[in-house]
A and B are shown apart, each in its own frame.
Chain A
């Protein structure tokens, strides 16, 4: 078993850095790209914990579909927009808080963390042999209805 404590902390720092880049970037297209990066790092936390199925679900549906549409939307409506620039003192305060937080979290670097023992095959078998299948069918039906309503709504507003 490999201790993944330090790797988890590193990925958390990368997620936070990508999120700060989303906040500080003035261009929506770059914000959307940093968002995809942050989401990928968030999903990789699951991968480190041996959660291959939820990782694939997030990467394929959330990043692969939803965020891709957002990136395309941001590229379509790309225009120069001026945003209020944060004062440097707030950034300094944020850096000081981050340093204190890292010092406070130092014991967690030394804590042993191991991936989950459940295998993806076992998880898939558990899910498919339970009431979760019915829930999945209902959720996908709900998504289909929402898509149909969205298409209908766009047709109405077009006229």
Chain B
């Protein structure tokens, strides 16, 4: 059982790394959003490993993660739509700290 748990954690870490690579290489905000959602998958995988030992705790963690991620992505999608309206572009290179021009 321990060996399979380790393999799930290794998979979760690899998915986190792949998601981080997607975010770092993102040229537009949609790609950035996809990378962040991929990183959330590693959270679900880790919680799945926990479910084998502590089902109740894992269910609470998954519930909090799902609702929090939904709220987070609503805010991000709203920000993407607003940025597109203001800048007429969703490319990340046009967005600096705070969205201001230097």
Contact = CB atoms under 8 A, between A and B. Distances in A.
Q: Do A and B come from one complex?
A: yes
Interface of A: 5, 8-9, 12, 15-16, 19-20, 22-23, 28, 31-32, 35, 38-39, 42-43, 45-46, 49, 51, 53-54, 57-58, 61-62, 65-67, 69-70, 73-74, 77, 81, 83-84, 101, 105, 107-108, 111-113, 116, 118, 123, 126-127, 132, 135-136, 139-140, 142-143, 146-147, 149-150, 153-154, 157-158
Given A22-B38, A118-B55, A45 B14 contact: no
Contact of A31 (B1, B31, B78): B31
Contact of A62 (B14, B15, B18, B66): B66
B10 A139 contact: no
B59 A123 contact: yes
A22 B34 contact: yes
Contacts of A70: 30, 33-34, 37, 73, 77
B60 A81 contact: no
Interface of B: 1-4, 6-8, 10-11, 14-15, 18-19, 21-22, 25, 27-28, 30-31, 33-34, 37-38, 40-41, 44-45, 47-48, 51-52, 55-56, 58-60, 62-64, 66-71, 73-75, 77-78, 80-82, 84-86, 90
Contacts of A142: 67, 71
Contact of A77 (B28, B41, B47, B59): B28
A23 to B, nearest CB: 5
Give chain A's interface secondary structure class.
helix
B51 A54 contact: yes
A123 B37 CA distance: 27
Give chain B's interface secondary structure class.
helix
